[in-house]
């Protein structure tokens, strides 16, 4: 029995869906252009540097749309997936997921990006199990700007994976082989927790760590861009 875990942004998806959705919000006219873009870029730089305050970020990122009508949100999200996400999903990403599916492995996408944005992306990849940062909802189902439970971020990814497996009476140690595919040093805690860490389309820092530790390095974005 084997387990395959996949980060999403920068790993399977040749963009950052969180940052890209915020740009989409601007195109929809749901936020002030200059000020919102500056903050969006500032938070993204914090994420890349490994110093993101994810609670502050979620409050910022959901503010322009969390009071909008459900049908308006659904339409905006559908357009985002079709116009932005689908073109940023290389065939090699779907093939990687499919190889593990064909092998009978347990599959999950685990991402720091919130569940509102990433649920349709996981569906696009045909992966039912999505472990994402969950948005707190009010009694009417509207996002409040807070996070429900443990964010799926840095050490929180390990916590969330362990909780998901525990619900099924399992643990990471129950799997003969466990893979985690990621591009970012933010994911070092979970990369270090599996038997087969794979630096996938990695940034410079993660690639250096991977080569020092003898981890597999997988690059297919370069081929997709050629």
Active site residues: 7, 9
How far, in Å, CA of 184 to CA of 178, rounded? 18
Instruction: Answer yes or no: are the C-beta atoms of 191 and 180 closer than 8 Å.
Output: yes
Using only the alpha carbons of the chain, give its radius of gyration. 17
How far, in Å, CA of 6 to CA of 98, rounded? 12
**112: its two tokens:** 């720091």
H helices of the chain, where? 17-27, 33-49, 54-62, 70-80, 91-102, 115-125, 155-167, 188-191, 204-213, 221-225
Ramachandran class of 136: left when φ > 0, alpha when ψ lies in -120 to 50, beta otherwise: beta
How far, in Å, CA of 178 to CA of 197, rounded? 8
């Amino acid at each position: 029995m084997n387990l395959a875990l996949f980060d999403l942004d920068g790993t399977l998806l040749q963009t950052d869906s969180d940052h890209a959705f915020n740009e989409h919000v601007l195109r929809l006219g749901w936020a002030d252009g200059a000020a919102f873009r500056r903050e969006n870029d500032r938070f993204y730089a914090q994420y890349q540097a490994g110093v993101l305050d994810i609670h502050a970020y979620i409050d910022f990122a959901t503010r322009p749309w969390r009071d909008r009508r459900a049908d308006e949100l659904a339409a905006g999200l559908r357009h985002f997936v079709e116009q932005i996400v689908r073109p940023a999903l290389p065939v090699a990403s779907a093939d990687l997921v499919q190889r593990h599916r064909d092998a009978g492995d347990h599959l999950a996408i685990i991402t720091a990006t919130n569940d509102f944005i990433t649920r349709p992306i996981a569906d696009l990849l045909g992966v039912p199990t999505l472990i994402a940062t969950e948005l707190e909802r009010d009694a009417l189902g509207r996002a409040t700007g807070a996070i429900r439970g443990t964010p799926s971020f840095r050490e929180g990814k390990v916590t969330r994976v362990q909780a998901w497996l525990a619900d099924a009476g399992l643990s990471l140690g129950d799997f003969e082989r466990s893979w985690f595919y990621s591009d970012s040093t933010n994911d070092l805690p979970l990369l270090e927790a599996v038997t087969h860490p794979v630096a996938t389309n990695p940034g410079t820092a993660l690639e250096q760590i991977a080569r020092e530790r003898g981890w597999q390095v997988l690059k297919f974005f370069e081929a997709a861009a050629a």
